[in-house]
Copies of this chain bind each other. A is one copy, B any other.
Amino acid sequence: MDTLCEKFSKLGIDNAPGQEKTQKDREIDLRGNIIEGKEVDFSHGDVDAFEPLPGSLDCFIKGYEVGGKQAYTEYRGKLDIRKDVAEKISKFTGSKINPEENIILTPGTQGALFLAMGSMIGTGDKVAIVEPDYFANRKLVEFFGGKIIPIELDYKKYADRAGIDLKDLENKFKDGVSLFIFSNPNNPLGVIYSAEEIEGIASLAKKYGVSLIVDELYSRQIFDHRQYTHLCAMPEIPDQMITIIGPSKTESLSGFRLGIAFGNKDIILRMEKLQAIVSLRTAGYCQSVYHVWFNEPEGYMESRIKAHQDIRDELFTKFTDAGYYVRKTEAGSYLFVELPKLDIPLKDFVVALRKLAGVTVTAGIEFGPQFTRHFRINFSQDAEAASAAADRIIEIVKRYTCDC
């Protein structure tokens, strides 16, 4: 059991978003009075502020009423639903998805990531991940016994690209990387990879035979009419490639646990085999709800994106005025905030913030060990509550800013 102990000791969840209430009480240096205000949990979006897509519950009920054929589907998901989703996603991404072979319905995009990595990472494989990027990427690579090769994103340097160094990437690909995983738009930064970056990644992966997993979870929520490039639609892509997307974020359907993965048919088959022993299938009745996705009432998505953009602007201005470094979110609902130097550890600050101001944020170290002065917020929240919470954050930061 020793290797298992080690494996699970790396697999921390105490500081993961949503798990804050399970943290054991530690001695924290709490300074000053509690600042009253409506509690805000920035660790994930507030589906009460931005409700699930219209019609989603009705869809679920219809699925329930279908009965047995909806309860027991193929492990990769019900064929008519795969057809519907494949058609919509082909159109959205500009790629060609065969519903019989190239797509699997998964329990959330987390499910898609787990299945994809489990199907593509062997023990000892070198797996390149971006820093910062979605916190589970690191944990998954470690769980499957891969060796992490970090790719730093120089996100402060450019306004028109995410900041990947293609030369550095090429060197690491040359050096034996077998799989490269990244999210676009990036989580936690909310930056979009430029067309040139995407083309570069695609052609390097093709050249060096590196497999790709591209997590496009937030690719429908693009601000300021920016350009977005789907890697799967590039003329040259590697054979072994999987794209992941789902309706949990912009569409607020997280409570149904729906995601998809599409790409190479052999990998999809592996993912299905793995799904069969992981949890059989995406909950049968929930599968019906994919129908509302990409089927929103006219103008619905535009107004939702606009509402998020307004909150972004409000918070971005506040944090920038307070002197923190933040790159303005280009897509998705995250802001990754760099604080001045604090005189307590980041983990303690996060707890103090929750106790003194009723505000939950995700510590930067979840996204890469070097982000010790950073936190991430998901600003898909009630606009007023989020704005007031930002004020409280700024107030609490003052109490812990280092004089040094």
Contacts and interface: CB of A to CB of B under 8 A. Distances in A.
**8 cross-chain pairs, A with B, having the tightest CB-CB distances, nearest first:** A71-B255, A107-B279, A255-B284, A257-B283, A111-B279, A11-B273, A4-B122, A255-B285
Given A18-B75, A47-B71, A285-B255, A11 B274 contact: yes
The contact size tier of chain A is 35 or more
A256 interface: yes
A106 B279 CA distance: 9
Instruction: Tell me whether chain A's interface is mostly helix, strand or loop, or mixed.
Output: helix
Interface string A12-23: 110010110110
A401 B155 CA distance: 71
Interface stretch (A136-144, A186-194, A303-311): A136-144
Interface string A93-110: 000000000000011101
Interface string A237-278: 000000000000000101111000000000000101110111
B74 A254 contact: no
A385 interface: no
Contacts of A285: 60, 255-256
Interface string A215-252: 00000000000000000000000000000000000001
16 contacts: A3-B122, A4-B119, A21-B74, A51-B67, A57-B61, A57-B64, A61-B61, A63-B255, A71-B255, A72-B254, A107-B257, A111-B278, A255-B285, A257-B280, A278-B278, A279-B279
A47 B74 contact: no
Contact of A272 (B13, B70, B71): B13
Interface in A197-225: none
Interface of A: 1-4, 7-8, 11-13, 16, 18-19, 21-22, 44, 46-48, 51-52, 57, 60-61, 63-64, 67-68, 70-75, 106-108, 110-111, 113-114, 119-123, 125, 136, 139-140, 143, 178, 252, 254-257, 270, 272-274, 276-286
A60 B61 CA distance: 9
Contacts of A255: 63-64, 70-72, 283-285
A256 B277 contact: no
A403 to B, nearest CB: 38
A286 B286 contact: yes
A13 B254 CA distance: 28
B74 A110 contact: no
Given A68-B48, A255-B285, A273-B13, A108 B4 contact: no
Given A1-B122, A71-B254, A75-B19, A108 B280 contact: yes
A146 B60 CA distance: 39
A7 to B, nearest CB: 8
